[in-house]
Amino acid sequence: MNNIIALDIGDVQTGIAGLRENIPFSFESVKTEKLLDQIKEFRTIKKIDLIIIGLPVSDDGSENDQCRKVRKMALKIDNIVDCDIVLENEYLSSIEAQNNLRVLGLSPREIKQKEHSEVARILLEQYLKNDTR
């Protein structure tokens, strides 16, 4: 199962990550309103085996309004793909992403632009580490 993508769905931007030779890497973010078109495009280029979607739970582990928005988008994605979808807890991943990008020397503006894609990469890496297939 090599054709895995991960998504960090935000209100405006969605970060996307994928695997290249089994190493997670970030794509550029896309506007969330264009996400379904992007998924369809991926689907025509390559068969997608699995989509990992970050679920932004609250500090106490409970679901919030953003979780409901992500679940709603996950259902829309599920209607256009023929693969499994996994919702992965993304608690604290934004902070980790910001720190990773800061270490690379990116400016605050660049960090803001690349944050969702880095979160998606972190989600994919987290999934692969925890996968016990």
Spell out the domain ranges in the chain: 4-130
Query: Which pLDDT band holds residue 114 (cuts at 50, 70, 90)?
Result: confident
Neighbour tally for 105: CB within 10 Å? 7
pLDDT at 133 over 50: no
pLDDT in tens, 67-76: 999 999 999 9
pLDDT in tens, 33-65: 999 999 998 888 888 899 999 998 888 888 889
Please report the pLDDT score of residue 55 as a whole number: 92
Per DSSP, what are the bridge partners of residue 88? 54
- Taking alpha carbons only, the member of 24, 60, 94 closest to residue 16 is 24
Query: Which pLDDT band holds residue 1 (cuts at 50, 70, 90)?
Result: low
Query: How far apart, in whole angstroms, are the C-alpha atoms of residue 120 and residue 14?
Result: 9
Query: Which pLDDT band holds residue 15 (cuts at 50, 70, 90)?
Result: very high
pTM of the model: 0.88
Neighbouring residues of 52: CB distance < 8 A, sequence distance ≥ 6: 4, 5, 6, 7, 85, 86, 88, 123, 124, 127
Query: How far apart, in whole angstroms, are the C-alpha atoms of residue 66 and residue 76?
Result: 16
Beta strands in 1-133 (DSSP E): 4-9, 13-20, 23-26, 30-31, 50-55, 84-89
> Looking at the domain that runs over 4-130, which CATH code has it been given?
3.30.420.140
Query: Which pLDDT band holds residue 80 (cuts at 50, 70, 90)?
Result: very high
